[in-house]
Amino acid sequence: MHLPWLREPWRQLIGEAQQHRLSHAHCIPAREELGASVFTENFVRFLLCQNPTQQACGQCKSCLLWAAETHPDYYELKSDDGRAIGVDKIRELTHQLQQTASQQGAKVAWIKEAHRLTTEAANALLKTLEEPSPNTYLILSPERTADLLPTLRSRMQLHRFVEPDQAALEHWLTQQLKRSLTSAERHLVTSYQGAPLTALAALRGEQDEVERVALIARAAVGAAVWPQPTKDDANHWLMASIAWLQELLRVQQQLPPHRCHYPQLQEWAQTWLQQQPSHPVTTLSHRLSLCYNLRHMTREQSGLNLPLLLQNLWLQWQPHR
């Protein structure tokens, strides 16, 4: 595991597998800022591998099928554009998991965005957890462990990542960038405590994206004028709009600042929330679905006037005064 803070949890997991003490159900929270999906992917590959040692071998038939994204015994479930994961999807998955594995190895299902499971879906899943089929593993990745129903949580092995402290974070960033940090950068990094991958992205000059999000954040509360997207950068502006709406949802849910992707924009998020007369979540979900729709349209249709469509969209985001 190349991310140092993931080494210890990985070592523990492999230790349990080697002692045949591995649980059938795992909750691995989707802490992207810590590399949770890399960790979980490695775990899935390890479970499916026919000759695993400290990790998946990368060479057996199972590993090759995984690499080609065609492993027949791997199932993945996630929300479509932020919608709830309903009971039908869970029933279908449970049915598939009851079939015999086609590679004579394990069957693995990974439910991403598991915080979007409806109560009915979670209850249907509960039955599967109570009567697990042999050699079948279920991994749930909610935003937060606490987002799962207590009845589900109590039947799963709960995984927790330990965040690197400030010194370890700076040390790691220095290694990644192959240079020492300037004092301005060290100052910036303090706002990314506990979020090493976000900090690295910010320092690596994915700053353009951060600046776009920052401008949208300010415009959305009336503190700046809206940008003038062009044909060439309209798509970046659309992505930045989506990023900001998702961030507002995180802040609204009161995730701690280091779990947010733009901790330096917290103030703007708070200002926006204070400006909302009522139901910020409804407003945000509505705006997000319009953005997703636009993203979908740009993928399907050519010759779309995205700059104009975006400007029309932003017009409706004007703060009420």
Closer CB to Zn ion, residue 107 or residue 155?
107
Task: Please identify, using beta-carbon distances, which residue of 60 and 101 lies nearer to Zn ion.
Answer: 60
Distance CA 72, CA 83 (A): 26
Given the complex with Zn ion, which of 12 and 53 has the nearer CB atom?
53
Size of the site for Zn ion (CB under 5 A): 5
Q: For the chain, how far is it from start to end, CA to CA, in angstroms?
A: 51
Q: Which one of 55-63, 259-267, 278-286, 293-301 is the stretch in contact with Zn ion (CB under 5 A)? A: 55-63
Q: How many CB atoms lie within 10 A of CB 74?
A: 20
Candidate list 25, 36, 49, 291; residue touching Zn ion; CB under 5 A:
49
CB of 132 to Zn ion, least distance (A): 23
Binding-site member from 57, 197, 201, 224 for Zn ion (CB under 5 A)? 57
Tokens of residue 81, six digits: 């554009």
Q: How far is the CB of 195 from Zn ion (least distance, A)?
A: 32
Residue 133 in tokens: 């089929």
Contact assessment for residue 85 and residue 101, using Cβ atoms and an 8 Å cutoff? no
Q: Which residues contact 100 (CB under 8 A, 6 or more apart)?
A: none
* Interface stretch with Zn ion, choices 45-53, 70-78, 245-253, 289-297 (CB under 5 A): 45-53
Task: Tell me whether residue 105 or residue 257 sits nearer to Zn ion (CB atom).
Answer: 105
* Closer to Zn ion by Cβ: residue 63 or 140: 63
Q: Are 272 and 220 in contact (CB under 8 A)?
A: yes
Q: Which of 30, 47, 63, 284 binds Zn ion (CB under 5 A)?
A: 63
CA 234 to chain CA centroid, nearest Å = 24
Least distance (Å) between residue 42 CB and Zn ion:
12
**H/E segment holding residue 76:** strand 74-77
Find residue 141's DSSP bridge partners.
112
Chain residues in the site for Zn ion (CB under 5 A): 49, 56-57, 60, 63
